[in-house]
Amino acid sequence: MLKMVKKFFDFCSKKNRNKFYKSALLGVLEAIFTAMKIPAAFFAIKAVLDNSIDINVIFIVIAFMLISTLGKMIVSRFSSMLQTEGGYDTCALKRIEIGEHLRYLPMGYFNDTSLGHITSVTTNTMEQTGDIATRAIMMFLQGSITTVVVALFMFIFDVRIGLISLAGIGVFLLINQWTNRSVAKVADEKLSADRDMVGVILEYIQGIAEIRNYNIIGQNQSRVQKAIDRKKKADITAEITAIPAVGVQGLVIKLIGVVIAGFSLWFYFNGTMELSYTITMLLCSFMVFESLDTAGIYTALLKIIGKGVDLANEILEIEQMDIDGEEIVPANRDIHLEHVGFAYENRKIIDDVTLDIKENTTTAIIGPSGGGKTTITSLIARFWDVQEGSITLGGRNVKDYSFDSLMENFSFVFQRVYLFEDSIANNIRFGKPEASMDEVIEAAKKAACHDFIMSLPDGYETIVGEGGATLSGGEKQRIAIARAIMKNAPIIILDEATANVDPENEKELTEAIENLTKQKTIIMIAHRLKTVRNADQIVVVDKGKIVQKGKHDELIKQKGIYSNFINGRKQAVSWKLS
């Protein structure tokens, strides 16, 4: 049990750990105030039995009771506030810490890790940590402290009863270990079912359009229902396992109280304990384990909480990319790939690629799907680290740069644009958070999206849905371009940015891209002839290798992927219904 408490405290930041330590110290004071009821009761009982009640006795009893009640109330308030602040602050800070940690993980982590797992840990697990875990651990500590302090007060009256009380605490701890082992058997399944349910529901919501289009609602609803049923079964199993264990725990505590009362009476009848002491010990037999009984109910949750802390730590322990390089401003933006190799799960994706991209030139990368085009741009921007060879920017290895200083050189416009559930103005400001409204509007005009933004009900303050769901594909693309214009990075990576744009938006999007790419180094993955033919160099990638490289006029004369690509596009453009 103490290991679980230590694990939780280690999980907290130093600032919040100190809050819990202070709360525990206040808990000792609260326990002393609680135990002061014992001498108050003793003086009252002794005065009644000795028929010696006077103003002094009344004053002493009232003083003890007032100090006990008011002291406990005041200390409890401060202690609870420290626990609450520490718990919720831990929850918030860990979510931020996990978010920052995820920011610098290799992108491969997100390819083989369920979104439901990450979401479950950052929502449900952190919620339990901030609320239930704090309450359970502090209740356990407070209950233990109060019980020990009351037992120590009982030592003052009778060593024998004090020893019986301490023995009772030992018995409770043994029973509590059994309770925790019982709950541990179902903790993994409960958390696994929770993660699985979150993942399946997220997948269902994100793919609802495809589910409806292909009329597979029943099949997917069945998956969701199975995940929910599994979660329900796991929760019920956890309750069924915990409730009897907690019940036995509570029964044992009450029986120990009966044992204390029985021994007190036995000591009185054999003449080894005065009546006033006996009555006081009888009262203590009800009081000594009261707090521990309440704490015992919460301890059943600690094993599940401990597993949740382990899940959060697993994410935080995943090795990040080395991001602590130098703050470098390159002398130029020449990019050079030297014999670069990269594999994912033992599958070679990039194989011995050497490539020069000069500053303020346009490089178009084409090739079959799955050939490695996007991986090359990801390696250049250091979304992954190369496993063979090297990549340099301005003559310096990209690994020499701090991650943030490297990112200052790049802007990205992807085929699939993600907008945050915020105002359009703030979505554009992601490129420059401190930008004024005039700068936002200027970037929007250059990206050819000012007119459609002004036609919206709230203009630039219009809130877009999560992922930009309330806007068309072309509108999202232009806002993404406005964001990139706002950042004004010297290198632009376009990953099939115009691949799925409808004809009505193509003119505006082309104009926006032209404004974005003026006097920049452009690396584009493209499937359109007009965006490829004017590139300074065209790189054809197939099966992780560069199979052709040159300008349009050179490559069109060669047999191979590029000429097939161009001829196929020409045939597609000239195709008509007869």
Give me the CATH number covering residue 231.
1.20.1560.10
Same domain, 330 and 291: no
* Residue that the structure tokens 């995940």 belong to: 227
Last residue of a domain, one of 300, 316, 332: 316
Last residue of a domain, one of 316, 348, 378: 316
Nearest one of 498, 495, 521 to 511, comparing CA atoms: 498
User: Does the residue 465 lie in any domain?
Assistant: no
Average pLDDT over residues 173-196: 75
Whether residues 171 and 253 share a domain: the answer is: yes
**Contact (Cβ atoms closer than 8 angstroms) between residue 456 and residue 425:** no
Is the domain of 196 the same as that of 337? no
One domain for residues 345 and 219: no
Are 110 and 91 found together in one domain?
Answer: yes
Residue 509 in domain: no
Angle subtended at Cα 489 by Cα 488 and Cα 493, rounded to the nearest 5 degrees: 115
Q: What is the pLDDT of residue 301?
A: 67
Give how far Cα 58 sits from Cα of 42, 70, 468, Å. 12, 18, 73
**Structural domains of the chain, count:** 2
Average pLDDT value for residue range 542-548? 88
- 266, pLDDT greater than 90: yes
Residue 386 within any structural domain of the chain: yes
Q: Name the pLDDT band for 466 (thresholds 50, 70, 90).
A: low
Q: Return the pLDDT at 90.
A: 81
Shared-domain flag, residues 347 and 203: no
- State yes or no: pLDDT of 492 exceeds 90: no
- 90 and 228 in a single domain? The answer is yes
User: Are 192 and 214 in the same domain?
Assistant: yes
With H, G, I as helix, E, B as strand and everything else as coil, classify residue 354. strand
In tens, the pLDDT along 185-221 reads: 777 777 778 777 777 776 666 665 555 554 555 555 6
Least confident stretch, 35-39, 199-203, 388-392: 199-203
Backbone angles phi, psi at 549, to 5 degrees: -155, 135
> Are residues 204 and 162 part of one domain?
yes
Same domain, 288 and 350: no
Q: Is 446:485 a contact under the CB 8 Å cutoff? A: yes
The pLDDT assigned to 70 comes to 92
* 372 in any annotated domain: yes
Contact in structure between 357 and 393 (CB atoms under 8 Å): no
Q: What is the pLDDT of residue 114?
A: 58
Q: What CATH number is attached to the domain comprising 390?
A: 3.40.50.300
In a domain, 433, yes or no: no
Same domain, yes or no, for 49 and 164?
yes
Assigned domain for 345 exists: yes
Q: Are residues 95 and 157 in the same domain?
A: yes
Between 201 and 536, the more confident residue is 536
Would residue 431 count as lying in a domain? no
- Percent pLDDT > 90 in the chain is 5
Cβ proximity of 301 and 86 under 8 Å: no
Segment among 217-221, 284-288, 447-451 with least mean pLDDT: 217-221
**pLDDT tens-digit map of 129-164:** 766 777 777 777 777 788 888 888 888 888 898 888
Which residues on neighbouring strands pair with residue 463, listed in sequence order?
Answer: 423
Q: What is the pLDDT of residue 390?
A: 92
What pLDDT, on a 0 to 100 scale, did the predictor assign at position 469?
A: 64
Does residue 54 have a pLDDT over 90?
no
What is the rounded CA–CA span in Å between residue 321 and residue 385?
A: 8
Domain of 399? 322-408+523-578
This prediction has a pTM of: 0.62
Give a yes or no: residue 115 inside a domain. Answer: yes
Q: What is the pLDDT of residues 75-134, one digit of tens each?
A: 888 888 888 888 788 888 888 888 888 877 776 666 555 566 777 777 777 777 766 777
Q: What is the average per-residue pLDDT within 425-432?
A: 85
Residue, of 415 and 435, whose pLDDT is higher: 435
In 467-560, alpha helices (H): 473-487, 503-516, 529-532, 552-555
| Domain final residue pick, 292, 316, 340 | 316
pLDDT in tens, 289-347: 777 777 766 666 666 677 778 878 888 887 777 777 788 888 888 999 999 999 877 78
Map residue 362 onto helix, strand or coil.
Answer: strand
Tell me the average pLDDT of the chain.
80
SS (H, E, C) 49-64: HCCCCCHHHHHHHHHH
